[in-house]
Amino acid sequence: MRARATDARRAAVLGKPIAHSLSPVLHRAAYEALGLTDRSYDRFEVDEAALPGFVSELGPEWAGLSLTMPLKRAIIPLLDEISETAASVEAVNTVVRTEDGRLVGDNTDIPGMVAALREHGVEQVESAAILGAGATASSALAALARVCTGEVVVYVRSEARAAEMRQWGERLDVEVRTADWAEADRALHAPLVIATTPAGATDALAAAVPERPATLFDVLYDPWPTSLAARWSMFGGAVVSGLDLLVHQAVLQVEQMTGRVPAPLEAMRKAGERALANR
């Protein structure tokens, strides 16, 4: 899925809301570090209704798109093909125009999660826990399919969500057990905890962090640190942040859209850190 070398010079992130997105910061930092002075990366506020029109007007100057909520599933019918990774969770966050002009969708969130974990020394775990059952939780399960050899316990607030996560487990060949959110403090004793919940949802769990926690992957990055992540770090546990995920998935996007490998991970990370510090 390599971009056309001659005329594909534009890229952008689409979603609604979109003003908060760090994607332009990360991609532009990559272009600067790679010396790609003729490339641009923008952001456009696009909802599901406007997406087909936007995609239909993409010219040959477009190398690709990044997709955030609520477009990760809405984009699929508009593409010529999607990767096995994207199909596994029915979510596309990356679109690349191939050399023959086809639009191909991929999901870099899943390998981005795996790469972020590996960067922090997590290659394989015997079990894991997921806090929450929203859209990010299915990607977390797909990532755990690559690093977890045993049971994954998902803590949820409703039986409907629990049933959905069990279905994802069957589809992704992950051994999933669900538990009520009221017991979420038990999750904190797992070798790997992935928090996929919105801001504030895990604050009450901070007081329950064990004396010797293992690894926490909190997908949030603003505000940072979360109460849970701060307490986890204070007790000496390893913490993987949402910025780690954002950078690693963006690295893969840059590589696909530009054909330049490897993308400049550290330059992108530093740009993201500066942007967050200035907010």
Q: pLDDT tens, 196-212?
A: 999 999 999 999 999 99
Q: pLDDT tens, 3-20?
A: 444 457 999 999 999 999
143: nearest Cα among 122, 121, 161 = 122
Rounded to whole angstroms, the Cα distance separating 10 from 189 reads 46
Is the model's pLDDT at 81 over the cut of 90?
Answer: yes
List the beta bridge partners of residue 105: 82, 95
Residues 203-225: what's their mean pLDDT? Answer: 97
Residues 222-240: what's their mean pLDDT? Answer: 97
Q: What is the pLDDT of residue 135?
A: 86
Active site residue 270: no
SS3 state of residue 21: coil
- Which two three-digit tokens encode residue 75? 């984009």
pTM: 0.94
Is the model's pLDDT at 56 over the cut of 80?
Answer: yes
254 backbone φψ class: left, alpha, beta (φ>0; ψ -120 to 50): alpha
Q: What is the pLDDT of residue 3?
A: 41
User: Is residue 29 within 8 Å of residue 267, measured between CB atoms?
Assistant: yes
Residues 33-62: what's their mean pLDDT? Answer: 97
Q: Which of 10, 28, 39, 72 is flagged as catalytic? A: 72
- Would strands 40-45 and 10-15 be described as parallel, antiparallel, or unpaired? parallel
Q: What is the pLDDT of residue 7?
A: 55
Q: pLDDT tens, 157-183?
A: 999 999 999 999 999 999 999 999 999
